[in-house]
Structures are given as structure tokens and as C-alpha cells.
Amino acid sequence: MASPVSNGPGFFGIVFGAMFSVVLGAVLAAVYLVAQPAEVVTAAVKEPESGKVYFIQGAAGGGSWQRKSALLQAPRGTASFTEADLNGWAAQTFAPAKKDKADKTVDLVTPGLPNFRLDGTELQVGVVSQLESNGIKQALVLQAKGSFAQAGDGWHFVPSQMYLNSLPLHKIPGMVPALLARLSSSRETPPELATVLSRATKLGVSGGALAVSMP
């Protein structure tokens, strides 16, 4: 006669099945949230829809960032950059290279320009990219909001929250540090930004501007 134990799935089978269900559910939930693009707006929504993620863009590029950047080159130089200053700098620094007309290749992901917005004492930075595969286009909105912290090798941006479309990356253990490391290694930091991050004595958002002081 077969034992009662041999007829069932067994303890490890039950545990594995439960773990698989949890992981599969998490993966499906993540895929669903990534497929729900954040709504891109230019101002805070008065009546935001429950459960919907918004990407509020900062002021259009322009301002006087060149003049303010020059101030930082002097000993003990200080400057305060507005959203317009930061986005003006981004528009010039990260402008995509023009493709040759004969180049018919289609990039899988076409990144947009970084966009900066100041929110209280935090800096928001986001990029709206386009994913194209098999004729299907999907918006990818990566946005993070946080502040700067000083460590031994300089200043680092420390996000309090980060989203990829509607997926809250900051709620996934270890995801944000890994993504930041991947992003920092994927492209070279602009020289002027590298100088500020490594040498600034003050770096933070206050009074509606990003305040920078140099030694």
C-alpha cells in the first residue's frame, strides 16, 4: 500500500510552488506597470487620478547657465541654477548626434533629453525615451527624485523615489543602486558636472534653485 506522503506533492513541492507563484505574480505585476506609461505633464495635476503616475516636466531650457557656470571657476565661486538653467545646459550637453541620411538603422531605444525640475528641497530628473520593436512603439519614462549626499569621493545623487513608467523601482530591494551604477557606467559624465560632484563644498536645492559652492 502506498504511503499517504507519496500521494501528495510533498513539503518541498508545496514550498517551491508557492515561491514560484509569488515570483511569477511579481514579474507579471512589474510587466504590467512598465506597460503603463507615466503621463507627461508640464504642471502639477490639480486632481490626479488615483494610482496614476505622472512625470511633471521642469521649465523649458534657457536661462543664464553659461554665465553662472563661469562663476564657479573662480575661487570660492557660488551660483544658483534654476530649472531653466539646468534644462538649458542639458539641451546643449546631451543633444543627440545627427544621423547620416544613408543610415536606415532603427535603434531599439531612442533616449530623450534629461529634464530637471526642482520640488521643495529635492531635485527631479527624468528622461522620456522611445522603445521600438517589431513596429510597436512604447514610451519609457524613467524619473527619479532625491537630494545630494557627500561621501569620501564627492557628491552623489540619492533618490528617495524612482519610477520606470508606473513601476516603483525604489520598492524593489537593491534595484535603485544597481540601476544608478549601470547608468553611470554606460556614459561618460560631462566634465563640468564631474568637477562639481568631486569638488563642490555645497550642493543642494534651496529657495527654488540648485545652489553650488566651490572651494
Q: pLDDT, tens digit, for every residue of 155-206?
A: 999 999 999 888 888 998 988 898 888 877 767 789 999 999 999 999 999 9
Domain boundaries, the chain: 39-213
pLDDT tens-place string over residues 97-149: 666 565 555 567 788 899 999 999 999 999 998 888 777 788 889 999 999 99
Tell me, what's the pLDDT at 102?
Answer: 58
Lowest-confidence segment of 43-47, 82-86, 123-127, 188-192 by average pLDDT: 188-192
Tell me, what's the pLDDT at 185?
Answer: 74
Q: Around Cβ 27, how many Cβ atoms within 10 Å?
A: 10
Q: Which residue has the higher pLDDT, 87 or 24?
A: 87
Residue 13: pLDDT band with limits 50, 70, 90: very low
From 167, 166, 160, select the one nearest 144 (Cα to Cα): 160
Indicate the helix (H) or strand (E) that contains 73.
none
Helices (H) and strands (E) in the chain, counts: 6, 11
pLDDT at 69 over 70: yes
From 21, 40, 50, 58, select the one nearest 163 (Cα to Cα): 40
Say if CB 165 and CB 140 are below 8 A apart.
yes
